[in-house]
Amino acid sequence: MAEQKKGKRIVVVEDDKLLTNLITKKLKAEGYEVIHAENGEVALSLMKQGSPPEVILLDILLPGIDGFEVLKNFKQHETWKATPVIILSNLGQESDIEQGKKLGAAAFLVKALLSLDEIMREIKRITMVY
């Protein structure tokens, strides 16, 4: 089992339980601590609970507050605004990608087009850049 990476926390904002479990297992195997938020409200409440994670994986289609609104709030928060956000969504239209980038997403990944290994490569790439 991979050694826990000190300070390597990732927030996964995703309402799909199966996908969350797959991503969480993969991240933990890579040594990351995973914090899960099943909707936008829970994700936003995390900002009040301490220091930001290394990366946020954010779905767009969420119950309640959608991912674009969550992203907007993260980027307006003094402590969390520098945290890279990777949008991981099945929305893949150019207008969705453009909106995500405009709101400050570091990357926009379309779930249906990527494997877990490709998602992990993107997380590692983003954490090297930021």
**Tens-digit pLDDT profile for residues 24-64:** 999 999 999 999 999 999 999 998 887 899 999 999 999 99
Residue 3 within any structural domain of the chain? no
CATH of the domain at 80: 3.40.50.2300
Show the CA angle centred on residue 40, arms to residues 36 and 41, nearest 5°.
95
pTM score: 0.91
User: Which range of residues forms the domain containing residue 54?
Assistant: 9-129
More confident residue, 128 or 28: 28
Question: How many angstroms separate the CA atoms of 123 and 28, rounded?
Answer: 13
Residues 37, 24: contact at Cβ < 8 Å?
A: no
Length of the chain: 130
pLDDT in tens, 70-122: 999 999 999 999 999 999 999 889 999 999 999 999 999 999 899 999 999 99
Write down the pLDDT at residue 1.
44
Number of domains making up the chain: 1
Q: Does some domain include residue 100?
A: yes
Q: What is residue 51's predicted lDDT score, i.e. its pLDDT?
A: 87
* The pLDDT value given to residue 127: 86
Question: Averaged over 7-24, what is the pLDDT?
Answer: 92
Distances from the Cα of 127 to the Cα of 8, 62, 64, angstroms: 10, 25, 29
Give the whole-angstrom CA distance, residue 3 versus residue 99. Answer: 37
pLDDT at 21 over 80: yes
For residue 70, which amino acid is it?
A: V
